[in-house]
């Protein structure tokens, strides 16, 4: 009866808003009677205004500004017209999108497979009946988890904790680490002392112990309260917010090209590992876990070698400290492997791996050892969202079925092979090309020049974003092809020539 009701609802939707369809690409946006006919990715960008944001974007942002803070907004998007690797704004400007909602769009705007999943009876059911997953999960929730998450689980991690967003994933991973540490300190004994039960209500030890998470200089792990205490990328992210007095270790600052500075970079990584081990040994507050990004994606796209991460894993094991790998931005294939840490060649896997962004959902993978000794401890009402898990299932189907991890690896190598000679030719503008897959970046020679470059690129029809103080990062969809790279390179070289003519005229 329920499925018949859903079918009747779909029929009503067709009568009001027009024909619904699945993989063909014809669809109706939820809450709108306006039809979006089958969308075809354009052959190239098109800019129709004299500036971006244009007048329609500015008008939309003026209205929005009465309700929300819009000072960080670049332009207002038109998501009925955006398709594939192209984003369309409110003025009709069509831009090749190499930033993709801060690295969070995996397989293109208005992807037919995702639209089909969004319009399915299963999706309607989850949206109309969102369950409290920790107490009343759907009868087939285990099958959903298997299909959405466990097909791509990191090696050695057989369980998944689902959450709402990347900051939330890290926050709850920290809680798991602290509970594991406390259980270890108790020698595995179950139950809590009377003193622990009373002191925790006053936020003091022993019930609320002084224990830390160690993070790295320039790392970013989110903006919720605990995650923010491990974020070290920009002061503006942290100002005015009370923070835990947790330590930070230095992250390597490598020089490029890598083959030219191999000895210096190796020495820099040894220095950072030695200081990290000193902190693990000498820090007055016990450390439950170390969290690290494969690439410091908000801190300037800073990288380290597999040898650095192997050494980090070794010293965490030696000191009995958990290792959390934050793959919120690097996960889901953009680096040329589904998980960036696969490239490290670790002898033992991390204890937890957090994810979000391109997975379009969030959480962390873990071993059974990370499960608290009692229920309701690492817990909230929703514990994720079945509707987002259905979208993740469709995303994983697309990524695996279309070989998009391999495509990102090949397309990224092609892009990098074009960027490196341009960095030599236009050295006054940018340098230090780096990264794997399409997860690439370069540094501009000043913050002011980066701002100018990004704006000029938008006027050439390419949307890009910055990272850290001077870096420009590539965060395209996994569907980026060599043809898209050719379009980008042509426009990028045009902008480079404009900058040279303006700042260094002959």
Active site residues: 220, 326, 357, 381
Token match 């902190």: residue?
279
Two tokens, residue 65:
């500004």
Backbone angles phi, psi at 258, to 5 degrees: -60, -40
CB-CB contact of 94 with 88 (8 Å): yes
Identify the residue whose tokens are 């980008």.
Answer: 488
Rounded Cα distance between 285 and 275, Å, is 16
> In 3D, which of 308, 301, 318 has the Cα closest to residue 442?
301
CA–chain centroid gap for 94, Å, is 24
End-to-end CA distance of the chain: 77
Please choose, from the candidates 395, 385, 412, 382, the residue with its C-alpha nearest in 3D space to the C-alpha of residue 476.
412
Burial class (CB in 10 A: 0-12, 13-18, 19+), 240: exposed
447 phi and psi angles, rounded to 5 deg? -65, -35
What secondary structure letter does DSSP report for 302? B
Helix (H) or strand (E) holding 113: helix 112-118
CA distance 105 to 383: 22
Cβ proximity of 439 and 475 under 8 Å: yes
Sequence-distant (6+) residues with CB within 8 A of 498 are: 456
Residue 178 to residue 168: CA distance in whole angstroms: 15
Among positive and negative, which fits the CA dihedral 175, 177, 178, 182?
A: positive
Q: In what order do the strands lie in the sheet with 471-473?
A: 430-436, 439-444, 471-473, 465-467
């Amino acid at each position: 009866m329920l499925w018949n009701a859903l079918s009747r609802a779909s029929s009503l939707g067709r009568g009001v808003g027009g024909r619904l369809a699945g993989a063909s690409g014809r669809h109706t946006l939820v809450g709108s009677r306006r039809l979006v006919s089958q969308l075809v990715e354009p052959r190239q960008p098109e800019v129709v205004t004299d500036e971006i944001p244009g007048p329609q974007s500015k008008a939309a942002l003026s209205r929005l500004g009465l309700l929300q803070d819009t000072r960080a907004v670049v332009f207002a998007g038109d998501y009925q017209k955006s398709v594939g690797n192209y984003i369309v704004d409110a003025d009709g400007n069509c831009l090749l999108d190499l930033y993709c909602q801060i690295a969070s769009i995996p397989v293109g705007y208005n992807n037919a497979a995702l639209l089909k999943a969004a319009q399915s009876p299963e999706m309607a059911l989850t949206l109309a009946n969102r369950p409290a997953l920790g107490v009343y999960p759907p009868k087939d929730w285990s099958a959903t988890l298997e299909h959405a998450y466990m097909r791509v689980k990191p090696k050695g991690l057989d369980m998944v904790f689902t959450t709402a967003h990347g900051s939330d994933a890290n926050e709850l991973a920290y809680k798991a680490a602290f509970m594991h540490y406390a259980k270890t300190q108790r020698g595995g004994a179950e139950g809590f002392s009377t003193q622990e039960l009373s002191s925790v209500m006053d936020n003091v030890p022993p019930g609320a112990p002084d224990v830390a998470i160690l993070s790295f200089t320039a790392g970013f792990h989110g903006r919720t309260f605990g995650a923010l205490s491990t974020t070290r990328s920009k002061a503006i992210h942290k100002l005015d917010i009370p923070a835990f007095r947790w330590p930070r270790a230095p992250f390597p600052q490598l020089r490029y090209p890598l083959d030219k500075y191999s000895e210096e970079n190796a020495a820099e990584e040894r220095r950072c590992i030695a200081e990290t081990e000193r902190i693990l040994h000498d820090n007055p507050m016990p450390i439950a876990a170390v969290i690290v990004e494969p690439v410091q994606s908000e801190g300037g796209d800073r990288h380290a070698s597999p040898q650095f991460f192997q050494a980090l894993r070794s010293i965490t094991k030696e000191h009995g400290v958990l290792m959390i790998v934050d793959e919120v931005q690097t996960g889901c294939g953009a680096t040329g492997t589904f998980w960036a840490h696969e490239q490290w060649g670790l002898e033992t896997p991390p204890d937890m791996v957090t994810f979000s962004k391109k997975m379009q959902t969030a959480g962390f993978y873990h071993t059974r050892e990370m499960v608290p000794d009692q229920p309701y401890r690492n817990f909230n009402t929703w514990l994720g969202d079945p509707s987002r898990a259905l979208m993740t299932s469709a995303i994983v189907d697309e990524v695996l079925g279309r070989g998009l991890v391999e495509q990102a690896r090949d397309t990224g190598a092609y892009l990098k092979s074009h960027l490196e000679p341009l960095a030599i030719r236009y050295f006054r503008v940018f340098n230090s090309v780096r990264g794997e897959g399409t997860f690439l970046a370069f540094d501009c020679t000043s913050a002011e020049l980066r701002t100018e470059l990004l704006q000029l690129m938008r006027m050439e029809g390419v949307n890009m974003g910055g990272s850290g103080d001077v870096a420009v990062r590539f965060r395209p969809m996994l569907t980026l092809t060599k043809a898209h790279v050719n379009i980008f390179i042509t426009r990028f070289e045009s902008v480079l020539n404009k900058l040279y003519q303006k700042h260094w005229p002959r």
